[in-house]
Amino acid sequence: MQTVNTLHMLRTALAQLRGQSDAGGGRIALVPTMGALHEGHLTLVRRAKAEADHVVASIFVNPRQFGANEDLDAYPRQLAADAALLEAEGVALLWAPMVETMYPAGFVTNVSVASISDGLCGAARPGHFDGVATVVLKLFNQVAPDIAFFGEKDFQQLAVIRAMARDLDLTRPHVDSIIGVPTVREAYGLAMSSRNRYLSSEQRAAAAILPQTLAAAAQSIQAGLQTISEAKSVAADDLQRNGFQVDYVEVVDAGTLAPLETLGDRPARILVAARIGGTRLIDNMAIAPARG
Ligand code: AMP
């Protein structure tokens, strides 16, 4: 595996990869990350490897997607350990640019995906999804992958990136080649996250309540035992009783992320963001469409 940190090195390495296949154009998959890799990230890499000739992973802690009071400085950085994990998975190329390379002096462009970015995490984190869309469009243009992989754990992020790809007619990757990968969980149910390392062992135990609460709400809505609004308030109460500060519990259309009051004939999703101690956790699950 080659690790590169300048655009010139990236272009040279990509040209080598593309020239390597007999057909003269090996399929390239991109897996963007912020590093501090865990099994969730590595699952994306394995999916990518199964569907492309070469996997390019990126590691970039993107300052533009962190708010002023967020954990940019404290965000875990462990490039050497991450590189070893990626190499063991058979990644061909690691793109690990510096902030100055991504955002040189004079950088003034912002990519904003309206509406989908506004609610849910966008409400508590103004500008966050603009930062995500801007950096992901840059990564897409830099690497020009045939296919790209993102986790459903960050469900709103995936929806924002798909909307951007659709609206801007991206071709590398095309919107249909932006693949969402199901959330990888700890044995006790918590969605894996680089931020889980901030949790104490007591907080970790308490955090197991989060996916349980979400699954219970999804099931009772799906079975028609509770209305969406009842299920949301029961879930929020349960979380608060277990020491969480609830940011939101919301049920939305899985495609548009518009809030729902009743289940329709389209897939729905229940999403939650809640804090335990200083750590903000997010999670989401599918709710099957109502049966006609
Ligand atoms: P991050 O490094 O947190 O920006 O995440 C990089 C990519 O890995 C994103 O597409 C995330 O959605 C995905 N990811 C993070 N955690 C998980 C997980 N537990 N399961 C599946 N994908 C994940």
Cα–Cα distance measured from residue 157 to residue 129, given in angstroms and rounded to the nearest whole number: 7
| pTM summary value | 0.97
In Å, what is the CA distance from 113 to each residue of 161, 180, 256? 8, 18, 12
Cis peptide before 126 (omega within 30 of 0): no
Nearest to 188 by CA among 173, 210, 172: 210
Alpha-carbon distances, residue 90 vs 19, 44, 55, 209 (angstroms): 18, 12, 8, 35
3-state DSSP of 142-185: HHCCCEEEEEHHHHHHHHHHHHHHHHCCCCCCCHHHEEEECCCE
Percent of the chain, pLDDT > 70? 98
Helix, strand counts (H, E) of the chain: 10, 9
What is the predicted pLDDT for the residue at 20? 72
Residue 40 Cα to ligand 1 middle (Å) = 6
Mean pLDDT of 21-38: 87
Length of the chain in terms of residues written: 292
Pick the catalytic residue: 8, 38, 41, 174? 41
Q: What is the pLDDT of residue 185?
A: 98
For 84-111, what is the mean pLDDT? 98
Tokens of residue 28, six digits: 């390239």
> CB neighbours of 34 closer than 8 A, spacing ≥ 6?
59, 60, 61, 62, 75, 194
Q: Which amino acid is at 284?
A: N
Out of 14-28, 138-152, 225-239, 241-255, which region has the weakest mean confidence (pLDDT)? 14-28
SS3 assignment for 19-59: HHCCCCCCCEEEEEECCCCCHHHHHHHHHHHHHCCEEEEEE
Question: What is the enclosing helix (H) or strand (E) of 270?
Answer: strand 268-276
Q: Is 263 in the pocket of ligand 1 (CB under 6 A)?
A: no
Report which ligand 1 atom has the smallest distance to the Cα of 36: 2
CB 243 within 8 A of CB 274: no
Atom of ligand 1 at shortest range from CA of 152: 12
Contacts of 146 (CB under 8 A, 6+ apart): 27, 28, 29, 52, 172, 173, 177
pLDDT band at 23 (very low <50, low <70, confident <90, very high): low
Which domains occur in the chain, in start order? 2-181 (3.40.50.620), 194-281 (3.30.1300.10)
pLDDT at 158: 98
* pLDDT value of position 25: 63
| 34, 150, 154: residue to mutate for ligand 1 pocket, most atoms within 8 A of CB | 154
Task: Find out whether 246 and 282 touch, Cβ atoms under 8 Å.
Answer: no
Residue 290 is predicted with a pLDDT of 72
Q: How many other C-beta atoms can be found within 10 angstroms of the C-beta atom of residue 86?
A: 26
Q: Is 54 known to be catalytic?
A: no
Residues 6+ apart with CB under 8 A from 78: 35, 36
Q: What's the mean pLDDT in 12-39?
A: 89
Q: Which range, of 21-25, 48-52, 89-93, averages the lowest pLDDT?
A: 21-25
Average pLDDT over residues 54-81: 97
Pick from 14-23, 150-159, 236-245, 279-288: least confident: 14-23
